[in-house]
Structure 1
Amino acid sequence: MYHIKTRRLGLRPWKEEDRDSFARLNGDSESMKYFPGTMNREASDDLVDRINNHFDTHGYGYYAVDELETGSFIGFVGFGRPRFEAFFTPCIEIGWRNYKDFWGKGYATESALACLDHGFDHLGLEEIYAMTSLYNKPSERVMQKIGMSRVGEFDHPLILKGHRLERHVLYRIKKSTQL
């Protein structure tokens, strides 16, 4: 069932029953405070469809993440390809999103480290990027904890000019520098 397991987490393909939990996550204003807005059910379901299509097309994507002790769906982690042009694209990015109830437990770091290992050791990736808004210091700390180096800042082209989350920080890790 799990493609990747850590001490506390299981990373797996998406199941149809994940859609309800994922819609609640994407509709929760606190869990989504570092994103331009929450998502309605239709947008959340569309994202699951895009994630599944990405797996089918590229052989990788964002995994659903379960807390092993409880079996609870807590969010997602994995790889994607930015759908915009910037000085660092095309590239592979790692990303994560967890319910706020699971913040501060080290789950993002634990799952991201497992994904980096998978990306470098099994997918043959040579470098992986991560990005977040300048305000999202918790995610930036995860990037640092997993061994990524700060590349710089950029204005995210898919976020409205002048929006408080427009400015993003960019991190990168190369296979040769992996922890």
Structure 2
Amino acid sequence: MTTFLETDRLVLRRFTESDVDNLTALDSDPDVMRYLTGGTPTPRAEVENDYLPAFLAYYEKCTGFGFWAAEDKTGTFLGWFHFRPQPHDPPGQVELGYRLKKSAWGRGYATEGSKALVHKGFTDLDVDRVYAETMVVNNSSRRVMEKTGLKQIRIFHQNWPHQIDGSQHGEVEYAITKTEWQTNPKKPT
């Protein structure tokens, strides 16, 4: 198990094939999946055959980027973070994302992990811009983005195959550039 990043309370490590139960349990909580699928759980077969192999493949194709299992210092699985370029992104731009177990909500883990990834991206990974997206109505995730130093850029609408309660209000994009991060006197580190 390779540690990617450590913070005061978190270890972000590479996923392994043995994480299928962790991911299945995470995606089985309707509250966790509320703003993603409307609360519908992800079937274990989909986690095992699609999601986890995609997570693992990232380590080979994009050094320093991908999906990272988040654990507390006792080794308890809390969820995951991603820090990765999307296929449509220009060079130097990456998307930040996170999904944590309900028991980890409201404890600052999402902000702590996000700040550490932004810091690593701007200092070690030649990143120029970090962005994150969520539903307009997902206030908790929006607060994490703001605490991480990202600023609201735009509200936009996407065509989703299944409507989720609140999706009529659209999605929101937050972002921060390396220059903005470097010149911020209260820079989140």
Render the CA deviation track for 1:11-56: whole Å, top value 9, x for unaligned. Answer: 0101222110111101111111111232111222211211111221
Q: Does 1:72 align with 2:72?
A: no
SS at the partner of 2:21? Answer: helix
Runs of 4 or more consecutive aligned structure 1 residues displaced over 2 Å after TM superposition: 80-83, 160-166
Render the CA deviation track for 1:132-167: whole Å, top value 9, x for unaligned. Answer: 01121101000000100100111134x237543541
Q: Does 1:105 align with 2:107?
A: yes
Structure 2 partner of 1:50: 54
Q: Does 1:146 align with 2:151?
A: no
- Tell me if the contact between 2:23 and 2:47 (Cα under 8 Å) persists in the aligned partners: yes
Instruction: Tell me how far apart the structure 2 counterparts of residues 109 and 156 of structure 1 sit (CA, whole Å).
Output: 26
Q: Does 1:116 align with 2:118?
A: yes
Instruction: Tell me how far apart the structure 2 counterparts of residues 23 and 101 of structure 1 sit (CA, whole Å).
Output: 16
Shift of 1:129: 0.7
Q: Does 1:24 align with 2:25?
A: yes
SS at the partner of 1:105? Answer: coil
Unaligned runs of 5+ in 1: none
- Tell me if the contact between 1:78 and 1:112 (Cα under 8 Å) persists in the aligned partners: no
Instruction: Tell me how far apart the structure 2 counterparts of residues 99 and 61 of structure 1 sit (CA, whole Å).
Output: 19
SS at the partner of 1:139? Answer: helix
Q: Which amino acid aligns with 1:62?
A: F
SS at the partner of 2:17? Answer: coil
Q: TM-score, normalised by structure 1?
A: 0.89
Instruction: Tell me how far apart the structure 2 counterparts of residues 81 and 165 of structure 1 sit (CA, whole Å).
Output: 27
Instruction: Tell me how far apart the structure 2 counterparts of residues 165 and 63 of structure 1 sit (CA, whole Å).
Output: 28
Aligned identity (percent) is: 30
Distance 1:171 1:50, change over 3 A: same
SS at the partner of 1:48? Answer: helix
Structure 2 partner of 1:13: 14
Structure 2 partner of 1:3: 4
- Looking at secondary structure, tell me which structure has more helix per residue: 2
